[in-house]
Structure 1
């Protein structure tokens, strides 16, 4: 019965005909009062996994979210869909927060959005216990594992929820969790007593490209040629670089804005709102920007610097192409990036164990950067998902020059084997290049036959080859141990001569190649050619509604909804109800105006033709 009610709510409130992969499984488990960890790719509809059960169950659902912007956007979307949702956060006045709490306490609101810091206080916990919520949802659950206790300790405290509310199901959701992170979250939140649902990580509409950093300003400008009217995000590591880059692009005629945590709140809000509501704006930002952003038509994400981990990278590129049309993600990286990232990890102050894990994550991202073949396959392999070569990354479309590496590969594998598969890349390189240090002398590794056999190459070259052996699956990093390199079955096949290894030389793509890769295979937007003008007209109408309500444009209707509307050209409320993403509330509030606009456009179009 509850399953049928869930379908009815999905259709009547949210305007979707059926559940996507994993949604029905997660919803069924929650309605059966089981704990759930759901890992779904960006844009797969994770929020519905707790919003639909909240409406089926009735009563109050508490949603824990890390950012004010994320909470406010979700609440705005729900209200326009006719769902009573509120948030208590630092971005609101005291009177607004008091009103929100009264709505939740009186039963007027179905969903209450809180930050971990707001939730994990004795006073709030005691107040919520009196209300007996029916469900607790933890959004962006990877933060529990990836944000150190020193950064936001309340995320660590969420592990107490299962004991504080023993009879209430908890659902944790994320798009970014490798197998070890999933285990860590499940252990912390549920004592491993939860249903884990993983639907995959692949975003096939994203074109992945990586380039060695040489002249980053020139490389960025080359990439942006012809993108004047596209929305995109450019990530920079520092606040200073963010502002300088935004200014450089403005001087070049681009509509670029800056965003970082050092700006005042009003400036950040103005720039964020412009980016979300206006077309063709480039946001130059630090990682302070993004988690609360759900702009569907971001056509590119460009990293001027190396991110901190595969999870961070995946999270950041996931902001592109949420409308499922083609988008490009391009990263520059160099040796200075690697050094800086290592320094950040060492200076973080999160303890030895956390530093070890972060170094391992960085190693995995470097393996992605060094991938000699399909880059997407390397990235997804990190998250435990295997695919065939994608044909949509730079390694597939423009393979870099590679050289035969069987012998150097066997040398490295031989040293890994001889040293007991207990050491990381640094020690293996020290042995091969003949370094004389305390560890080598103490372990007697200076007596190995391969000691000093690789002096013809410099240490960075050997490290690059090792990263490519990891990327190609000949070596693996023992992330549960201490980052030791271990030989895989494929590596043993190389030792026996049953397979071959080739490695890429460090190259920088020339301007023509970068242009070709960046624009490869991008299809036109999924709208009938004769409906393209109407689509733009509908976007302008949507923007008017968004400005009147002070919400992002996609909160009114997503691009996918407008495309479906432009293609179907509904002439009645019955027709309008069949448009993707139109529930009963939006049918009531927006159908008459949009139908009138469509009818008027068609009549003007007919006059123009005749």
Structure 2
């Protein structure tokens, strides 16, 4: 396949001028009929790798996806780009299914999305044999491996594809898979010497932050209120906590809902649709949420609890910022989360218990680490980041270290003096000199360390105890109601004076935003236009019954607000604007941008292209160049320059109102006589200056 044709299709259907890393190589592998395993981060452009070949090759691509709820959005998005696609799953009635099957046989669709259950059913096999299949793309391919973090038994039946479709390339795609999982994918699918494409796992547009797990709801509410209208997901460990978090946020005036598997289908679907369509700003959900949506403009992901492994964490934060615009991620951490997850894993009594515990430990190391978060995250996936990222909490506010030996000795002494019969909270109360009845009843108010740490806040003590746990100075006796025990290392510190280096406790509340300097006029204009463009997008989406991001994503709107395209040609240069969307929505967005630019010009803002646009709009209203020149106090030549600009950009400009037919013929005759002369001056002189330069230029444009 000619790659020029491929690039043209990339722009036509998806609005992109260039491929992202590895996309072109993967697509060429498909054209060559070879199998591949693709590891690419969420938002990295996996879907282009099979959608583009499917459009350009004869036949149809079968896309295997475990997410029935996602198929409808994916297909709607493809149709919005001018791509013929459909899906087969349990949501269709028999007549609808038959119609899709007929389209497949007739070659009327390029992509068919199916669930693994549907694909492996006995009814589907004859369809596969009859249809012309050019590619099989298996999304979420890590589900096939028992080593993966989201194993699904139905995926293990997909090995038959290689036997039933000989010569058809198979593309296995996933956002997260370690070395063992990758090997398992190749074996389970019986892939033929597959090429491994391992894209960078770096998502530089995502900021990474870990916060101490105290007053989580208060922190979240403050964070959201400082970002009004921005959609986000809050991942919670339990169904109950999703409801509690949503209720707590609503009580604070935030438009929040919840989603979990315990809801009935109708309520769950309604919550998902409300979030996708921007009727719901924030959703608190269990980890299943997100796999079933393709919402590109999620601006933040918050983990209320510690995830069970880095793969899950990475996949979940990857659901933010998929449009490439900036997004934020926050992880709340406490040792109690680790303890809870350990108990859950041990209760599962699986053969993989030790593996899961080891992965949880790596997750804990990430949460408590004191080096660049992105370095830690990428190193897990075997990728080396040479420089610090500059976009995580560690880089933005490097930890302050201090000699914590005396502090640790106070805490360890308190544990020893209560004979290791108290949990963390009670020990902190003792150190802070609390008058709680339990302390008095047990006589702990009479021990030497009572009140020895009253100068340190409860929240800061919690953070310091997390560090004691992470450094192995104390351990939690889960079998004894969470009582703290001294470890050999802790006894070394307490009795032998071994030194302890610690990190200064961090303030956990979101700081109130400081009054910022007045934004530059250019920034004000850009932000104002961006908000108006979002409002238009929402209006169009609701009128058409589709999610707003299927019109244009946030990154595309941000680029429009920055560049302010005034013509179709300008708009076509914006990333994410393909032929289909230009045809469907171009005029509405163009009219809005033009109106905005003229309005800002009247308000005294300097906006690129505004003076050209004003002349063009007056011309469209019927004024002649001479009238425009008089009205705007410009030379007629300058008005012609403005109108010529739009003519060159392909806009409809009535030449008959700008140059007489006799003048046009004279200019073209001289140009032909001078053997294609395109320079203005020789033609001007040959005509003895009878026709001005600006009309000569127009005539030459007409000749082209």
Answer yes or no: same fold by TM over 0.5.
Answer: yes
State yes or no: 1:383 paired with 2:389. Answer: no
Answer yes or no: is the 8 Å Cα contact 1:67–1:291 preserved in 2: yes
State yes or no: 1:110 paired with 2:110. Answer: yes
Cα distance in 1, alignment partners of residues 504 and 355 from structure 2: 29
Q: Secondary structure of the residue that 2:21 maps to in structure 1?
A: coil
Structure 1 counterpart of 2:281:
281
State yes or no: 1:464 paired with 2:470. Answer: yes
Q: Secondary structure of the residue that 2:53 maps to in structure 1?
A: helix
Query: Which of 374, 381, 386 in structure 1 is aligned with 2:372?
Result: 374
Answer yes or no: is the 8 Å Cα contact 1:57–1:134 preserved in 2: yes
Structure 1 counterpart of 2:506:
509
Which shows bigger deviation, 225-234 or 302-311?
225-234
Structure 1 residues 370 and 218: CA distance shift in structure 2, 3 A: same
Matches within 5 A, 1:288-299: 288-299=288-299
Query: Which of 540, 556, 560 in structure 1 is aligned with 2:551?
Result: 556
Matches within 5 A, 1:83-232: 83-145=83-145, 152-191=152-191, 193-224=193-224, 226-232=226-232
Cα distance in 1, alignment partners of residues 326 and 500 from structure 2: 29
Matches within 5 A, 1:21-32: 21-32=21-32
Structure 1 residues 247 and 146: CA distance shift in structure 2, 3 A: farther
Structure 1 residues 170 and 278: CA distance shift in structure 2, 3 A: same
Structure 1 counterpart of 2:693:
none
Structure 1 counterpart of 2:354:
356
Answer yes or no: is the 8 Å Cα contact 2:275–2:282 preserved in 1: yes
Structure 1 residues 178 and 149: CA distance shift in structure 2, 3 A: closer
Cα distance in 2, alignment partners of residues 598 and 390 from structure 1: 36
Cα distance in 1, alignment partners of residues 551 and 572 from structure 2: 15
Q: Give the Å deviation of 1:609.
A: 4.9
Q: Give the Å deviation of 1:43.
A: 1.6
Larger Rg computed on CA atoms: 2
Cα distance in 1, alignment partners of residues 187 and 344 from structure 2: 27
Q: Give the Å deviation of 1:127.
A: 1.7
Which shows bigger deviation, 379-388 or 101-110?
101-110
Q: For each residue in 1:383-410, what CA deviation from the matched residue of structure 2 results, as whole angstroms up to 9, or x when unmatched?
A: 00111322322223334455789xxxxx
Q: Taking structure 2 as the reference length, what is the TM-score of the superposition? A: 0.68
Cα distance in 2, alignment partners of residues 598 and 460 from structure 1: 53
Structure 1 residues 306 and 508: CA distance shift in structure 2, 3 A: farther
Question: For the aligned residues, what is the CA RMSD?
Answer: 3.2
Q: Give the Å deviation of 1:506.
A: 7.7
Cα distance in 1, alignment partners of residues 180 and 147 from structure 2: 15
Answer yes or no: is the 8 Å Cα contact 1:256–1:281 preserved in 2: yes
Structure 1 residues 333 and 58: CA distance shift in structure 2, 3 A: same
Cα distance in 2, alignment partners of residues 174 and 255 from structure 1: 33
Q: Give the Å deviation of 1:118.
A: 1.1
Structure 1 counterpart of 2:271:
271
Structure 1 residues 94 and 297: CA distance shift in structure 2, 3 A: same
Q: Give the Å deviation of 1:370.
A: 2.2
Matches within 5 A, 1:428-467: 464-465=470-471
Structure 1 residues 216 and 535: CA distance shift in structure 2, 3 A: closer
Query: Which of 521, 524, 541 in structure 2 is aligned with 1:546?
Result: 541
Q: Secondary structure of the residue that 2:328 maps to in structure 1?
A: strand
Q: For each residue in 1:139-192, what CA deviation from the matched residue of structure 2 results, as whole angstroms up to 9, or x when unmatched?
A: 122222368799631112223322332311011112222333223323322457
Q: Give the Å deviation of 1:114.
A: 0.7
Cα distance in 1, alignment partners of residues 184 and 324 from structure 2: 31
Answer yes or no: is the 8 Å Cα contact 1:211–1:508 preserved in 2: no
Query: Which of 575, 578, 594 in structure 1 is aligned with 2:573?
Result: 578
Answer yes or no: is the 8 Å Cα contact 1:208–1:328 preserved in 2: yes
Cα distance in 2, alignment partners of residues 291 and 14 from structure 1: 22
Q: Give the Å deviation of 1:591.
A: 1.8
Structure 1 residues 599 and 375: CA distance shift in structure 2, 3 A: closer
Q: Taking structure 1 as the reference length, what is the TM-score of the superposition? A: 0.77
Q: Which runs of 5+ in 1 are unaligned?
A: 406-458, 468-501
Structure 1 counterpart of 2:397:
398
State yes or no: 1:240 paired with 2:240. Answer: yes
Cα distance in 2, alignment partners of residues 118 and 504 from structure 1: 58
Cα distance in 2, alignment partners of residues 132 and 556 from structure 1: 32
Cα distance in 1, alignment partners of residues 148 and 394 from structure 2: 34
Cα distance in 2, alignment partners of residues 282 and 199 from structure 1: 31
Cα distance in 2, alignment partners of residues 230 and 461 from structure 1: 34
Answer yes or no: is the 8 Å Cα contact 2:35–2:191 preserved in 1: no
Q: Which runs of 5+ in 2 are unaligned?
A: 405-464, 474-498, 606-704
Equivalences, count: 517
Cα distance in 2, alignment partners of residues 172 and 150 from structure 1: 15
Q: Secondary structure of the residue that 1:368 maps to in structure 2?
A: helix
Structure 2 counterpart of 1:436:
none
Structure 1 residues 393 and 562: CA distance shift in structure 2, 3 A: closer
Q: Secondary structure of the residue that 1:257 maps to in structure 2?
A: strand
Structure 2 counterpart of 1:476:
none
Answer yes or no: is the 8 Å Cα contact 1:179–1:384 preserved in 2: no
Q: Give the Å deviation of 1:112.
A: 0.3
Q: Give the Å deviation of 1:129.
A: 1.9
Structure 1 residues 528 and 293: CA distance shift in structure 2, 3 A: farther
Structure 1 residues 219 and 608: CA distance shift in structure 2, 3 A: closer
